[in-house]
Amino acid sequence: MTSQTVEEFEREARAFLAEHLPPRPPTRRKLEWGVGADTGVDLWEEPDSDEERARLAEAREWRRKRFDAGYGWLSGPEDLGGRGLSAEYVRAYRRLEREFDVPNDSYFKLDHVIGPVLLKYATEEIRSTVPRALQRGDLVACELFSEPDAGSDLFSARTRAVRDGGSWRITGQKVWTSDAHLADIGVVFCRTGEKPGKGAFSAFVLDMHQPGVRVVPLTQMTGGAAFNEVYLDDAIAEDSRRLGEVGQGWDVVREILARERAGIGGGMGKSGSGIANGTRFVELVRAMGVAGDPLVRQELVKVLTGFWAARQLGSRGTDRVAAPFLRTDPAPLVSKLALSANLRAGAGFVSRVLGPSLIADTGEWGTFSWNSFLLGEPGVHIFAGTDEIVRNSIAEKCLGMPRD
């Protein structure tokens, strides 16, 4: 803990950021229509491999510098390199960091998702090393959950772990795995028993660099590859890398998914895209000369209101994602549905404003670039649990309705 007031902490943090980072460029603070590259509305990042490796290296260097200075894991346990600070300090630092040109560290987006779960379920060997390494940027993690025949229904998973002395041999196929091609570790959900139900599954921390792991990129209809298939052929996980007890895998995965959903409700646009805050939609309407159309204005307000409400809900969900609330608190689930609804509304709105310009590239700035947004939007309704599964969870766990 600290005896510093939030104001003292902010002064100290601002000095650190100013020493190591330039101010955020004006073009990233406010969208200027027609200025710069016509990008930024992609929902899924699909850089080429060289660009991706360079960005990862830059982000990793920054995270290490930030962690070593005491700002990398503000809420984390002090014995693992954190500072044990409250959410008030975390929010203050995040506000400050938005004023600076911070490297894109989306490759480490699972640090606050998987890290707390490892602290709760992992053995001391894993607990004492991996969460700290995730926060510092030494490790990239991925989630090995979905399978070709087990997407929303994870209880249909066929990937199997068989005990072999003090280890487990894991064989199967996972799909739609973000960052698997960059990951150092993966949390894998697999079958360890024969009885039906959640008790048949366990979870492990898997070394992604071993010979029994093969990662294959999945090409999407956008032409890029933001996801991967992962083939496991007798991949080894020592029993010390098991999370929780044998048969407790569903509890582990459910908590990871709850934390993931809690942080996604506000929007998915990359920094400066203006999607989540509505800037890009507003400027599109102005550029297309339809700002005076009352029907367009009415629909635009609905879209903007939806994103605003989701940001408020998302911030509350992030603050309330402490373990006691995870299983009954509806905020993470509603945040996920809010994201889906807002992006569907945004895609429909853009389609009606742009019409054929979405299909054929006329060369006009700010038009055809929305094509990738439109093609990527359906995937939002699937990741982190399909909309249908999320609605069922709200009905059963939060409203007490009978199982579907």
Query: In this model, does residue 60 exceed pLDDT 50?
Result: yes
Q: What is the mean pLDDT of the chain?
A: 87
Share of the chain above pLDDT 70, in %: 88
Residue 315, pLDDT score: 65
* DSSP-derived secondary structure for 256-317: HHHHHHHTSTT--PPTT--STTSHHHHHHHHHTT-TT-HHHHHHHHHHHHHHHHHHHHHHHH
Domain covering 263-398, topology? Butyryl-CoA Dehydrogenase, subunit A; domain 3 (1.20.140)
Number of residues that this document lists for the chain: 404
**What mean pLDDT comes out for the span 248-269?**
77
- Between 224 and 70, the higher pLDDT residue: 70
The most confident of the ranges 190-194, 224-228, 323-327 is 190-194
Query: For residue 206, is it left (φ>0), alpha (ψ between -120 and 50) or beta?
Result: beta
Query: In this model, does residue 236 exceed pLDDT 50?
Result: yes
- Between 277 and 401, the higher pLDDT residue: 401
Query: In this model, does residue 325 exceed pLDDT 50?
Result: no
Residue 367, pLDDT score: 84
**Which residues, at least 6 apart from 292, have a Cβ–Cβ distance to it below 8 Å?**
none
d(CA 147, CA 153): 9
Task: Please check whether residue 137 is in contact with residue 105, taking contact to mean a CB–CB distance below 8 angstroms.
Answer: yes
Task: Write down the H helix ranges in 100-139.
Answer: 111-121, 124-127, 130-136
Listed by start position, the domains of the chain span 36-136, 141-247, 263-398
- Between 307 and 210, the higher pLDDT residue: 210
**What mean pLDDT comes out for the span 380-390?**
82
d(CA 194, CA 40): 47
- Between 362 and 176, the higher pLDDT residue: 176
d(CA 192, CA 177): 21
CATH architecture of 36-136: Orthogonal Bundle (1.10)
**Does domain 141-247 bear CATH number 2.40.110.10?**
yes
- SS (HEC) of 346-367: HHHHHHHHHHHHHCCCCCCCCC
Query: In this model, does residue 265 exceed pLDDT 70?
Result: no
Tens-place pLDDT, residues 114-158: 999 999 999 999 999 999 999 999 999 999 999 998 877 788 899
Residues β-bridged to residue 169 = 162, 236
Residue 219, pLDDT score: 85
- Between 111 and 2, the higher pLDDT residue: 111
The most confident of the ranges 29-38, 79-88, 350-359 is 79-88
